[in-house]
Amino acid sequence: NAGVTQTPKFRVLKTGQSMTLLCAQDMNHEYMYWYRQDPGMGLRLIHYSVGEGTTAKGEVPDGYNVSRLKKQNFLLGLESAAPSQTSVYFCASSRTAAAQHFGDGTRLSIL
C-alpha cells in the first residue's frame, strides 16, 4: 500500500514548455486534489475532483488543467509554463472529503 505517489519528484522546465504531473493513489479514494505551496502562502488549491470523470476549480486554477479519467489517477497539466509557476506541488486524496492524505510533492522550477 503505497498511499499517494507523485511523479516526477523534481523537474526543471524552460518558459513556454509543457508538462504533466501524475498523481496515483491506491486507497480507492473518491476525492483528489492538487495544491501548490509557496513560501509564506500555505497550501493553495489549484483543482480538485470529487470522483472519476469530474474536475472543479480551486483557488488558483489559471494556467493549469487537470483530468481524472481513472479513479486512481489525477493529472495536472501546465500547457505553457511560466516562472510564476515555480513551486512545490502536492497531490492529496481523501475518502470522505475530510482527512486528506498527501503525496511527497513535486519540486518544479521554471527558468
For another protein, the binding residue among 31, 34, 74, 89 (CB under 8 A) is 31
Q: Which residue type, as a one-letter code, is found at position 83?
A: P
Number of H helices, E strands in the chain: 0, 11
| CA distances, 13 to each of 16, 20, 63, 75 (Å) | 8, 11, 15, 17
Assess 42 for contact with another protein (CB under 8 A): yes
Assess 104 for contact with another protein (CB under 8 A): yes
How many residues interact with another protein (rule CB under 8 A)? 23
Residues that bind another protein (CB under 8 A): 31, 33, 40-45, 48, 50, 56, 58-59, 90, 97-105
